[in-house]
Amino acid sequence: MGMFDSLYDEYGIEWQTKAFDRTLAQYNILDVIYSGLIYPFQVEVLGGSVKEGFILSHATIFNGVLAEVDVPRDPLLPFINYSGYPVPTANGEKP
């Protein structure tokens, strides 16, 4: 399965992604994430309640800060999939 980083939403629920350094880092809302990107973007995350089953969702990073986790995909923001690969936005831009 490999290493991943954990992002925690406002309820303390863990969401995982391999979009960053894959060093088992842990980030909470308002933590700085050193991704090398300075503009807003989203990453794909896997997690949620064990009771409800794991789901794919999204996290938003604004100016290097984790702003929100488990939110709908914003097609206007650059996007990085769970494995860390940039995906073009609706207008073809990549992060």
Structure tokens at 59: 């996290």
Tell me if 60 is assigned to some domain.
yes
In tens, the pLDDT along 26-38 reads 999 999 987 777 7
Residue 35 structural domain: 5-87
Tell me if 94 is assigned to some domain.
no
Phi, psi for residue 78 in degrees, rounded to 5? -55, 150
pLDDT confidence band for 92 (50 / 70 / 90): low
Q: What is the residue-wise DSSP string for 63-91?
A: TTEEEEEEE---TTS-EE-TTS-EE--TT
Tell me if 59 is assigned to some domain.
yes
Tell me if 56 is assigned to some domain.
yes
Q: Are 57 and 74 in contact (CB under 8 A)?
A: no
pLDDT computed for residue 20 by the predictor: 85
| Domain count within the chain | 1
Query: What residue has token string 């350094």?
Result: 21
Signed CA dihedral, 83, 34, 71, 39: sign only: negative
Structure tokens at 37: 């990107």
